[in-house]
Structure 1
Amino acid sequence: MILITGATGHIGSAVIDRLLQLTAPGQVAGLVRDEAKAADLKARGVQLRVGNYRDPASLDRAMQGVSKVLLVSGGADEDGLQQHYNVVDAAKKAGVTCLAYTSRALQNPATLANQLMERHFQTEDYIRASGVPYVLFRNILYMDTLPQFVGPQVLERGIQLPAGMGEVAFALRQEMGEAIANVLADSRCDNRIFTFTGSTTYSFADVAAALSELSGRKVEYTPIEEAAFAARLQAQGLPPAVIQRISGFLTDIRNGQEATVSTDLADALGRPPASLPEGLSTIFKL
């Protein structure tokens, strides 16, 4: 039995989609907060376990009869790290024989501007210290997040971000989910680390060029100063903590944190991952 946490989220559902193709019926379980919102998963044969990261008792119940667990990293909650610890503790208590985690592919955790990312590596350390055999998936920034960075009117206004000419080996969330499932369906769990990235790095200038080619409209990328970017977000009514987080992502891109390239994703998929133009065509429906 493989338990996928965050089963109704983007990456969790992508993993489940693929696992249902690879495993025997009844061998996939999903941790959900609200069973009513997961009726489609239940209809497809996924066993639903109701619980959440903040409730250790619910996690203990969810882990019963489970051999593998995929801990999908939580959001930006203040107690997010403790939530991760709760899942690890429950897995250990239940005698789970393989604990997988969706971490992040970043060049140097010691010099991150976006300090929220540090909890990924703290979670990795906690998993190692637990003694439970593990698999770590270090994922690059999802290509699917690009609309959040470039804005809904990117074709009209272009891209103005404080990311310099920093590059990212973007990859599609769906392909990462597929690759994670392929690994989880394997019987091995020998403390492996997979770095899932695209095959090529791209700057936001490359994103603009690809959007221009796909749309037939001229899209330009203009690097701007962080202060000007923050002022723009503040004028849009975003709270300071959110502005700081977004700016941190872009600073890390500018500093090369997201420029790791690995063949692990291609190897796990059995094919090259989608290129930037291929991904953007799907994401922006161009």
Structure 2
Amino acid sequence: MILVTGATGNLGQSAVKQLQQHLPLNEFSVLARSQNKAQQYLNQGMKVIYGDFDQPQTLEEAFRGIKKLLLISTMEQNRFEQHKNVIDAAKKAGVKHIFYTSLAIQNIETSAVKDLMISHFQTEDYLKASGLKYTILRNSMYAEAIPQIIGEQAIATGLALAGGAGKVPYALRAEFGEAAANALMQDGHENKIYSLVGSRTYSYQDIADLLSEISKQKVNYQNLDDASYRDMLHSIGLPDFIVYLTHGTVADMQQHQYEVHRTDLEKLLGRKTQALTDYLTTVYTTNS
């Protein structure tokens, strides 16, 4: 039996969709804190198990009879504590193998968002020390993050960021979910660490050029200095945490932190990842 956590989130839904296409419903289930949030799965005849990462007493019972567990990382401030609760409960319940979605980055120690993202690597270390079989799926940045960072009106406004010439091997969230599900359904991934990155890397100048092609008008990329970019984020009224996350993420791009080159994602998908121009065309044609 396979259990997917975070199944009501976007990545989890993509993983579940792939499992649905290849496995009978009695071979996998989903974990949810709320039956209401998981109603779509109940309507499809899927088994929904109650469990809350912040209530460890709910997890051990939830995990009984589970062989493989997909632990989709959370975005909470106490992320490592939540993940630790999951790993401890899984071990007590007899789970054999945990698949964990982590972060593909060059060096977490020099990351501008180390304070937030170090919990991924704390989780990795704790999982490896648990004695359970593990598969660590280090995901690169989602393509869906692009409009969140550059804005949905970027064709009209241009791009103004402090990203330098750094590049990112973007892939779609659906591709990461599909790859995770494929790994769950296969053997031979025990005690492996995979860097799941897109087939091509893109800078903000590359993105501006693609938007120019899509719109048939010139879209400029203005490479701001670090202080000006931070001030701009504050000026549009973003909460302090979002400023920290956005500014730090873009700073990591500038420092080439995301330039990881591997074919692990292609191998799990059985193909190259979708070209970024296809995604940008969909987003920016819709919003134009």
Shorter-normalised TM range: over 0.9
State whether structure 2 residue 286 is matched by structure 1 residue 268.
Answer: no
Give the percent of matched residue pairs that are identical in Structure 1 and Structure 2: 40
Structure 2 SS opposite 1:26: helix
Write the distance in 1 (CA, Å) between the matches of 2:10 and 2:150: 20
Write the distance in 2 (CA, Å) between the matches of 1:283 and 1:91: 39
* Cα pair 2:183 2:189 within 8 Å, conserved: no
Amino acid at match of 1:282: T
Write the distance in 1 (CA, Å) between the matches of 2:26 and 2:217: 49
Unpaired stretches in structure 1, ≥5 consecutive residues:
none
Structure 2 SS opposite 1:45: coil
Q: How many residues align?
A: 285
Amino acid at match of 2:95: V
Write the distance in 2 (CA, Å) between the matches of 1:72 and 1:153: 31
Q: Deviations over 1:71-122 (max 9, x none)?
A: 10100x3212101111111111111011010001101122111111111111
Matches within 5 A, 1:139-178: 139-178=139-178
Q: Which residue of 2 aligns with 1:18?
A: 18
* Cα pair 1:158 1:208 within 8 Å, conserved: yes
Structure 2 SS opposite 1:273: coil
Structure 2 SS opposite 1:143: coil
Q: Which residue of 1 aligns with 2:186?
A: 186
Structure 2 SS opposite 1:35: coil
Matches within 5 A, 1:26-45: 26-45=26-45
Q: Which residue of 1 aligns with 2:95?
A: 96
* Cα pair 1:144 1:283 within 8 Å, conserved: no
1:190–1:279 Cα change, 3 Å:
same
1:285, CA displacement in angstroms? 4.2
Write the distance in 2 (CA, Å) between the matches of 1:205 and 1:46: 45
Amino acid at match of 2:233: L
Write the distance in 2 (CA, Å) between the matches of 1:189 and 1:258: 24
Moved over 4 A (4+): none
Q: Give the TM-score, by structure 1 length.
A: 0.96
Q: Give the TM-score, by structure 2 length.
A: 0.95
* Cα pair 1:53 1:86 within 8 Å, conserved: yes
Q: Deviations over 1:233-270 (max 9, x none)?
A: 21222232321221110111111110112111111111
1:187, CA displacement in angstroms? 3.3
State whether structure 2 residue 50 is matched by structure 1 residue 50.
Answer: yes
